[in-house]
Structure formats: C-alpha cells, structure tokens
Structure 1
Amino acid sequence: MSLALNIEELMGYMASVFPQVSDDFAIEELSEDRLIMRLKVAHRHLRPGGTVSGPSMFALADCGVYAMVLARVGRQGLAVTTSCSMDFMRKPEGGVDMLAEVRLLKLGKLLAVGDVLMRSEGSDKIVARATMTYSIPPAGSVAAKAG
C-alpha cells in the first residue's frame, strides 16, 4: 500500500484539524512503514525537575500514530484513539527535542495499531514506548465524510 499523504499534505491537514498543537510537532521522515515525529520541547512541556512531562510524551505518541494512520488512509479527521499503553523507562532530557519512531503493526479497515519508541534528540536510549490503537471510521460513514 502506498502513502495517501506526503509530509507537506499531512502537516497541512493536521494543522487544519488540530491547530492547537500544530506548532508543537514536525514530521522528520515518512515512508510506508515508518514515521519520525519531533516534539519541539518548550517550557510548557516540562515538569518539575526539568524533564519532559508524561502528558507531553503521550501527545507525541498519539499525534505520531495519528499522523501515520492518516498518511496511509488519507484525510480521516475522526479517526480516534481507542487504546494506549505506555512504558516510561528513563528520564528524557528537558532541554532538547524528543523524537518518536512510529511503526504501524496493523492497518485494517476499522482498526490500526501502532508502536512508538521515544528518545531525546542526540541519544539512542529509549525513554518511553507506547502502543496505540486507533479506530478508523468505516468508508461512507458520516464520520469518514467529516475528514
């Protein structure tokens, strides 16, 4: 299966449906089986102790899998997260961006499952891992037409 959206189309669409977070993220790489998303770490992403907060890492994983699903299936604004499991393994650096490597493990007609490995830029050490499941609106549904 080929990509339905390239990086520019994907970033433009995400900015139109989620303008509140569009400045926080950038897609660095995109292929049929992998996406690299950057969290542009700012003060608002930090928790006491100067580390990136859990909610910010969740947002990175969630937006990364959402972007990967959209890249494959096209403009489906109402694709939604149905499940998430996250493991926090070590403290990320607070003064550098975070990178998430996203891979789709399954892409069906109604569900997509993605795996995300997150690290601080400049380090190979994984700081968190997430598995996300997304529900994709059935073709022809009102939800699918909303995209």
Structure 2
Amino acid sequence: MSLKMTLDDLRIFLRDHFGQVAEDLEILDVSPMHLVLRGLVDDKHLRPGGTVSGPTMFLLADVGFYLAILAMIGPKALAVTTNCSIDFMRKPVADANLRAEARILKLGRVLAVGDVLIYSEGEEAPVARASLTYSIPPDR
C-alpha cells in the first residue's frame, strides 16, 4: 500500500482543518500504515499532581490515528472515531513532550482498526496505549 498524503499534505490538512489544536501537535514522520506525532506539552496540558492530563493523551492518540488513516486513504475529513479505549500505564514526565506512534492494523473499505503507543520523549516505556476503530466514509 502506498501513501495518498505526504508529510507536507498532512501538515497542511492539520493546520487548515484542526487549527484549534494544530499548534500543540507536530507530525514527525509518516509511512504506509504508520505515523509519528509529537504533542507539545506546556502548562495548559497539566492536571493537578503535575502530570499530563488524560484528555491531552487522548487527543494525541485520536488525532495521530486519524492522520495515519488519512495518509492512506486521502483527505476524507469525515472519517470518524467509532471506538477508543485507552490504558494509562504510567505517569508521563510533566516537563517533556509526548510522542505518539500510530499503527494501522487493518484498513478496510468501511473500518480502520489500530493502536497508538504514547511515550514521554526520552523515555523507553510507553505512558499510554490506545486501541481505536474509525469509520471511513463511502466514496460518492
């Protein structure tokens, strides 16, 4: 399978369609069925206790997997999350950015299934693991 959107295409799509979060995210790499995304962590992403919030990690998983799908199917903005389960496995480093590695395990005509591992940059062990399913809109 080959890519239908390049790294630059995805960056433009993120900026144009998700301006509300585009400044918090940086797409680092894309290859068939795989995408790496950085979450730029600052004070607004922290919760009491000095840790990165769950919603921040969910955002990184959801957007990372969405962009991985778009890289494979093209800019179909109406691909939507139908299921997401996330396991928070250890406390992220509060003063480090996050890195999400999204992997598409199955890309069908109607559904895409995959996972995302989230790491604090500089750490070997993941801080969270998400399992996602997306609905892909039909071609019209």
TM normalised by structure 2 equals 0.98
2:106 alignment counterpart: 106
Q: Provide the residue aligned with 1:126 in structure 2.
A: 126
Looking at structure 2, the residues matched to 33 and 65 of structure 1 have their Cα atoms a distance apart, in angstroms, of 10
Match in the other structure for 1:78: 78
3-state SS of 1:126 partner: coil
Partner of 1:54: 54
Structure 2 unaligned segments of length 5 or more: list them: none
What is the rounded CA distance, in whole Å, between the counterparts of 1:23 and 1:113 in structure 2?
27
Q: Which amino acid aligns with 2:108?
A: G
**What is the rounded CA distance, in whole Å, between the counterparts of 1:114 and 1:39 in structure 2?**
19
Cα contact 2:65–2:114 (8 A) shared by 1: yes
Question: Mean alpha-carbon deviation: is it higher for 28-37 or for 55-64?
Answer: 28-37
- Measure how far apart 1:33 and its partner are: 2.6
Aligned match of 2:6:
6
| Aligned amino acid, residue 33 of structure 2 | D
Q: Which residue of 1 aligns with 2:45?
A: 45
Give, in whole Å, the separation in 1 of the partners of 2:28 and 2:13: 16
Q: 2:41 touches 2:98 (CA, 8 Å); kept in 1?
A: yes
Output the TM-score relative to the length of structure 1. Answer: 0.93
Do the aligned residues in 1 keep the contact of 2:33 with 2:69 (CA within 8 Å)? no
Letter in 2 for 1:20: Q
Once the two structures are TM-superposed, the CA of residue 10 in structure 1 deviates from its matched residue by 0.5
Structure 1 stretches of 4+ moved >3 Å: none
Look up the equivalent residue of 2:52 and give its one-letter code. V
For residues 50 and 95 of structure 1, what CA distance do their matches in structure 2 show? 9
Q: What is the RMSD of the two structures over their aligned residues, measured on CA atoms?
A: 0.7
Q: Any gaps of 5 or more consecutive residues in structure 1?
A: 141-147
Distance in 2, matches of 1:78 and 1:42, equals: 30
Q: After superposition, give the CA deviation of every residue in 1:51-70 in whole Å (9 maximum; x if it has no partner).
A: 10000000000000000000
What residue number does 1:93 align with?
93
SS at 1:96 equivalent = coil
